[in-house]
Amino acid sequence: MAALLASPGERARERDLRREADTTLDRLGLAAIADRPVAGLPLGTLKRIELARALCARPRLLLLDEPANGLTHEEVEELAELLLELRRERALTILLVEHHLGLVSRVCERVSVLDFGRKIADGPPEQVKSDPAVVAAYLGAAA
């Protein structure tokens, strides 16, 4: 009933939003499952669905909190490549909170490391990975 009462402008806006959502689902490889309930889908697929939901808001800044958590090595590699592509395609700034050093090193141009809320390192990934304070905090100090 609401669709019948909607103005032509509202219907056009709804079509545009649907087209954009379909494009985003297709871009993330989710078009084939667009009409399926998410319950029971694999974790990697669920993470891409969450990413698609965020992207539909057309953000300029995308905040991701541990997106690699629970993913397989292959899925993490796919995620890294996808994030790099999306960053280029959409001119996105990505703020990534993540413990997976491989993902951080591939995706981030700058890394800040916190240890119990205190910043202990900041800079390019290669520099930060070899910082003695980072090594001690995350790998343990050599005995």
| Same domain assignment for residues 41 and 16 | yes
CATH number at residue 58: 3.40.50.300
Greatest CA span in the chain, whole angstroms? 73
Examine residue 130 and state whether it is found in any structural domain, yes or no. Answer: yes
Q: How many structural domains does the chain have?
A: 2
Quote the pTM value.
0.82
- Give the H or E element holding residue 96: strand 93-97
Q: What is the pLDDT of residue 4?
A: 63
Contacts of 84 (CB under 8 A, 6+ apart): 106, 107
Give the residue numbers spanning the domain of 129: 109-143
Considering the domain architecture, whether residues 14 and 81 belong to the same structural domain is answered as yes
pLDDT at 141: 65
Mean pLDDT (10-residue bins), the chain, 143 residues: 72 88 94 93 94 94 96 95 96 95 94 94 95 88 56
Name every residue whose Cβ is closer than 8 Å to that of residue 37 and which is 6 or more positions away in sequence. Answer: none
Contact (Cβ atoms closer than 8 angstroms) between residue 134 and residue 121: yes
Asked if 33 and 78 sit in the same domain, the reply is: yes
Identify residue 124 by its one-letter amino acid code. Answer: P
Instruction: Using alpha carbons only, give the angle 48, 86, 124 rounded to the nearest 5 degrees.
Output: 105
